[in-house]
Amino acid sequence: MTTLHQALKSAQQTLAALPHANPELEAALLLSHLLEKPRSHLFAWPEQELTDQQYQHFLQLVQRRLSHEPIAYITGQREFWSLTLKVNPHTLIPRPETELLVERSLHHLKQRPRSRIADLGTGSGAIALALASEHPQAEIVATDISAEALAQARENGAGFGYDQISFYQGSWCEALPDDGRYDLIVSNPPYIEADDPHLDQGDLPLEPELALVSGKDGLNAIRTIIRQVSSDRLNPGGWLLLEHGYQQAEAVQALLNAAGFLRISTHKDLAGHPRVTEAQATGASDQHNWYLTLANLTASKR
């Protein structure tokens, strides 16, 4: 018979051969998943014995991780914003840095409890669900081009009972219903360059490429979103928030500026990397001033 302590130590030694892994944490996550117990149980009862069947199953889980399968796909879940979300190989694995999108969204929603919100490319539904948990009165629309990902997002939404979220399949704003504008649009789109060497590292090789890669410079999806949103999707004074790569902030700011957005700013994640850029749509007075300026420029050229 093998104790929990022995099983953990053996798994840690095995997983130490995996680049970029955290053997102690990952061994504990796999064993707690197997036992359907919190990690604290493993350390409170280190002498508890596993059955032979349990231990063989645990070894299989460790081997799956050793073959680079992401922990989140093995356990079928990932924590995000204190929510336990179900994930699968059709969904991007939610990451801690994406919580910055939620933080900045909440900052803009402070005085708007009944806001209309759109989450473009929702994946597992992480952002939409986090916002729903904080703003139960908000009306939220979540879109994704992947039917499999959207099915997972719907399941997560139903599991938490967040019936204020509506799900639509399609590409970015094209999937939004034609019933008005939004106070806030948020997106964590694919933004990795097609030839980025990081695509061969960590969990990325087994995550859906559709949710990761966006053209030669990684900005194709962001360009599309900015173009679609800038037409008529935000209420005057509404906000667009985008996650992007740490080296893309200046390019994203330039795209937003060229599209006529105001109050453009970039915010850093906990690692200190520029990660989220936000911008405000022109308000009624801003639009009036813009038309006056355009009229004056046109008149001066005549």
What CA–CA distance (Å, rounded) separates 86 from 126? 10
Give the residue from 187, 256, 269 showing the smallest Cα distance to 221.
187
Contacts of 91 (CB under 8 A, 6+ apart): 123, 124, 146, 148, 149, 152, 153, 208, 211
CA end-to-end span of the chain, whole Å? Answer: 91
Question: What is the CA 125 to chain-centroid distance, rounded?
Answer: 8
Whether pLDDT at 48 is above 50: yes
Q: What is the rounded average pLDDT for all residues in the chain?
A: 88
| Binding-site residues from annotation for substrate | 188-191
| Binding-site residues from annotation for S-adenosyl-L-methionine | 121-125, 144, 172, 188
pLDDT band at 209 (very low <50, low <70, confident <90, very high): confident
- Specify whether domain 81-287 bears CATH 3.50.50.60: no
Give the residue from 300, 101, 94 showing the smallest Cα distance to 187.
101
β-partners of residue 79 are 84
Cα 94–Cα 97–Cα 103 angle in degrees, nearest 5 = 100
What CA–CA distance (Å, rounded) separates 10 from 163? 44
* pLDDT score for 288: 41
H runs (alpha helix) in 161-237:
220-232
Confirm if 213 and 207 have CB atoms less than 8 A apart.
no
Please, where in the chain does CATH 1.10.8.10 lie? 2-67
Tens-digit pLDDT profile for residues 105-144 = 999 998 777 899 999 999 999 999 999 999 999 999 999 9
Q: 2-67 adopts what CATH topology?
A: Helicase, Ruva Protein; domain 3 (1.10.8)
* pLDDT score for 142: 97
Lowest mean pLDDT: which of 90-104, 248-262, 272-286?
A: 272-286
pLDDT band at 198 (very low <50, low <70, confident <90, very high): low
> Between residues 95 and 296, which one has the greater pLDDT?
95
Tens-digit pLDDT profile for residues 136-189 = 999 999 999 999 999 999 999 999 998 889 999 999 999 999 877 999 999 999
| Binding-site residues from annotation | 121-125, 144, 172, 188-191
